[in-house]
Amino acid sequence: MLDLSEQYRSLAEPIRNEIEQVLASQRFILGPKLEEFEQSIASYLGVPHAIGVSSGTDALLAALMALGIGAGDTVLTTAYSFFATAGCVARVGATPRFVDIDPETYNLSPTALKHYIDKFCKRSGGKLLDQNDQPICAIVPSHLFGLCCEMDEIMELAREHHLLVIEDAAQAIGAEYPGPNGAANAGTMGDVGCFSFYPSKNLGAAGDAGLIVCRNDKLAKRLRLCRQHGMEPRYEHHFIGGNFRLDEIQAAILNVKLPHLNGWSAARRAAADIYREEFARSRLTDRIGLPVEPFRSRGLTNHHIYHQYVIRTRQRDELHAHLARREIDTAIYYPLGLHEQECFQYLGYKPGDFPETERAARESLALPIYPEIQPEAQRFVVNAIVEFFK
Ligand SMILES: Cc1ncc(COP(=O)(O)O)c(C=O)c1O
């Protein structure tokens, strides 16, 4: 699925130098490497505030905590994402309410979101209430597989109903959206954006790491406090936060990697083009669904960053097994909708509630993609898929 060793080989020397500097300084927490990283990633994303944190999960958790979301609040989110997108909402004591996805992009469907609000919610005292009369305070869209959600429509609904928007951009660092004012980066359009630098992400650390970005000065300050138990000065705690700090070694590694990110994203797009050409040549495009590129001709560079290259077929499980027999690794993201997870049974959803999510969970299959993947390897994968459908 993913070979990180070549990327490491090409950057081994500067990475080792950076780590050595941190070790020599013996400054491991909240030091100059993190400051440098926060400044350069803020400038890369075009936001005033970037706050390094310990993981993508902690980015979501800290964002929810700093915004004061908790017990008695409802948060709308997609039924199809990595668990943390909804798990963090539940962890702060709020109630996640799921919304179905767009079957083409796998992202939160603005149409389904509007339908849910119009059909199941009501307004009272300036607040939007869910079907249990609980106030809805935020939307958490997740930019899945490296493609931005339809943010104009989501932001419009958020504005209309006075909802906060916390973008889960864990899989979408650098992905662009054609907004009203030109290209906008994933994570920078809502009130807060959350990123993950888990090693397999497009920008990966050598362990867990994450980031929160925002434009609001007051919120940025609160987020900085939140990653240190709400503490300032030392041992005076204004609110409950956590230990969500990004350490100096991870920041130093990310400093080396960040300048390469756009090149890696371009290489992933080139690999996606090769898959598309090979599938077209093999005449399989009526048997399998390929990733869509809704923003391709919209003047953007990173219209898709192909964190994953996800195809779909009704024979997904058989194809997955066939490729495994050929020693080709593929992955299923995700085999269950969030509403189908055992830990969310208390929310009362039942099978069939989110048909597009459930269909995606049974049909989607991620093929190997990374910047260094060779066209021959991709042809080998496509040929094995052709063989399966013969
Ligand atoms: C969509 C999404 N949200 C949140 C996360 C959580 O990030 P982390 O693994 O860094 O905690 C991930 C990471 O896998 C993710 O893919």
Whole-prediction pTM value? Answer: 0.98
355 pLDDT more than 90: yes
Residue matched to tokens 């996606």 = 272
1 pLDDT more than 90: no
Angle at the Cα of 225 (from 214 to 19), degrees rounded to 5?
Answer: 85
In this predicted model, what pLDDT tens digit does every residue of 30-51 receive, in sequence order?
Answer: 999 999 999 999 999 999 999 9
- C-alpha to C-alpha distance for 233 and 30, rounded to whole angstroms: 15
- C-alpha to C-alpha distance for 13 and 134, rounded to whole angstroms: 54
275 pLDDT more than 90: yes
Report the pLDDT value the prediction gives residue 199, as an integer from 0 to 100: 98
β-strand 95-99 against 74-78: which pairing, if any?
Answer: parallel
336 pLDDT more than 90: yes
Compute φ and ψ for 368, nearest 5 degrees.
-60, 130
In this predicted model, what pLDDT tens digit does every residue of 124-160 receive, in sequence order?
Answer: 988 999 999 999 999 999 999 999 999 999 999 999 9
In angstroms, what CA-CA distances link 95 with 78, 116, 186, 231, 326?
A: 13, 15, 25, 27, 43
Is ligand 1 within 6 A of the CB of residue 141?
A: no
Separation of CA 53 and ligand 1 centre (Å) = 13
In this predicted model, what pLDDT tens digit does every residue of 197-253 receive, in sequence order?
Answer: 999 999 999 999 999 999 999 999 999 999 999 999 999 999 999 999 999 999 999
In this predicted model, what pLDDT tens digit does every residue of 249-262 receive, in sequence order?
Answer: 999 999 999 999 99
Separation of CA 84 and ligand 1 centre (Å) = 6
Is ligand 1 within 6 A of the CB of residue 55?
A: yes
Separation of CA 209 and ligand 1 centre (Å) = 10
Q: Which two tokens stand for residue 229?
A: 């138990």
Is ligand 1 within 6 A of the CB of residue 170?
A: yes
Is ligand 1 within 6 A of the CB of residue 84?
A: yes
Separation of CA 284 and ligand 1 centre (Å) = 32
